[in-house]
Amino acid sequence: MKRFLETLQNIWKIEELKQRILTTLGLILIYRLGSYVVLPGINTQVLAEANANSANDGGIIALINAFAGGAFSRASIFGLGIMPYITASIIIQLLGMAVPYFQKMQKEGESGRKKINQYTRFLTVAVTAVQAPGYLAAQVYTKPGVVGIDPAWFGIQSTIILVAGTMFIMWLGERITDKGIGNGISILIMIGIISRLPFAITSEFGARLESAGGGLIMFLIEIVFLLFIIVSCILLVQGTRRIPVQYAKKIVGNKQVGGVRQYLPLKVNAAGVMPIIFAQAIMFIPSAISGMSGGTGGVFADRYGFWYNFIFASLIIAFTYFYTAIMINPNQLADDMKKNGGFVPGVKPGKSTAEFIDQVMSRITLPGSIFLAFVAILPAFALKMGINSAFADFFGGTSLLILVGVVLDTLQQIETYLLNRHYDGLMKNGRVKGRSSNQMTMQQA
């Protein structure tokens, strides 16, 4: 406890870090206040009654509502949250792998990055403009009495407001990244997710104190199990397989350079949470098509059913391999290594090195994908154990992985400030490793 208080004092002594933390908290407050501002023309009382009487949405709808911090179900001006920006970013990223024009921009350094960011903003406006009418049709117009003004005028003004709201959230995220601490977009997503945690905990605590709830002991067991899952997710996010890389000695002038051993860190879960997001989007399509035709959706409508989770887990494993293959190019890594005079001990440079890296990635991706799939379907197991659905969602899935990853990244940045000012880090032994510290770059041993 004493060390923890000393660390907080050291953080507050660094003026730049203190200002960045205060800026981040202020922008987060603006984001949370905006999520409660309802679209003009909405009857909030009727909307609240309609939400209370309707069944809980599943699949991608629940994911969007979680990322938006509940603003999606409240018909807020931030109702679409940051999801359109994420969609646009994924599209631009995929175009960068398939379209030569975007590939060229990626290699142009800072100027290329600015162009890509500008294209992403324009695409975000287009995606939001397409999603906004669909959101209004599915979440507002279907509930009688919610719209208190002319529906046509309401649709036009609400579409403009939703587009502006998403762009404002994107601006807040960029300001947090530039002037605050951590990755702004990721932090806003994390805040939206974690905003549901107090309600989920109090709801579960109240349920356990009831006569048939199991009592306080059962609640404490759940908390311990949740902490164990969090630790497991940290291991999944930080897990790496380090490949030794030896660099040949060179004589430059009168000095000898090279001759050192470095490591190429290959992540066990290089795809992050993207396979879960892709799989959830795919799982949502059959139920959406079935709903349009008047059907019930079958197994795809039961988010906690056996067949839904079996197909969901299988898709996650497949998408993990797919996304890892897109993100990591063994041939490029081998070529870069060869150009810099590096080689893996016992492996020939060039094609043999690329095959070796590909083989290692295939081996470590299998357990990583299986564990990722297991984490994704854990909420279904938690629900079967008697945990309420609101609290069960925190026992795994996209929400927990995002929370763990964002917290580790933010703590890593804070620790960097402390170490640069000659203070002790956040941990007594070792250092905090976030996702950014384990990217596909060489690290000195």
CA 160 from chain centre, in angstroms, equals: 27
Structure confidence at residue 27 (pLDDT):
93
Element (H, E) at 28: helix 15-34
pTM above 0.75, yes or no: yes
**How confident is the model at residue 159, as a pLDDT?**
92
Nearest Cα to 408, choosing from 432, 439, 437, 443? Answer: 432
Q: Given this model, what pLDDT does residue 442 score?
A: 34
Domains of the chain: 1-195 (1.10.3370.10), 197-445 (1.10.3370.10)
pLDDT for the residue numbered 207? 82
How far is the C-alpha of 388 from the C-alpha of 202, rounded, in Å? Answer: 11
Cα 95-277-224 angle, rounded to 5 deg = 145
Would you write out the chain's pLDDT as a tens digit for each of its 445 residues? Answer: 677 677 777 778 888 888 999 999 999 999 999 989 988 988 888 888 877 766 445 555 666 777 777 788 888 999 888 888 888 888 887 787 778 888 888 777 788 888 888 999 999 999 999 988 888 887 888 888 888 888 889 889 999 999 999 999 999 999 998 998 888 888 888 888 888 888 888 888 888 887 676 778 888 888 898 899 888 888 888 888 888 888 777 666 666 666 677 888 888 888 877 788 778 777 777 766 766 566 666 677 777 788 888 888 898 899 888 888 877 888 888 888 888 778 888 888 888 888 898 899 888 998 889 988 998 888 888 888 888 877 887 887 777 888 888 888 888 888 888 888 766 666 655 566 655 444 433 333 3
Q: How many CB atoms lie within 10 A of CB 355?
A: 15
CA distance 401 to 403: 5
pLDDT of residue 160: 94
Integer Cα distance of 430 and 419 in angstroms: 12
Q: What pLDDT score was predicted for residue 172?
A: 93
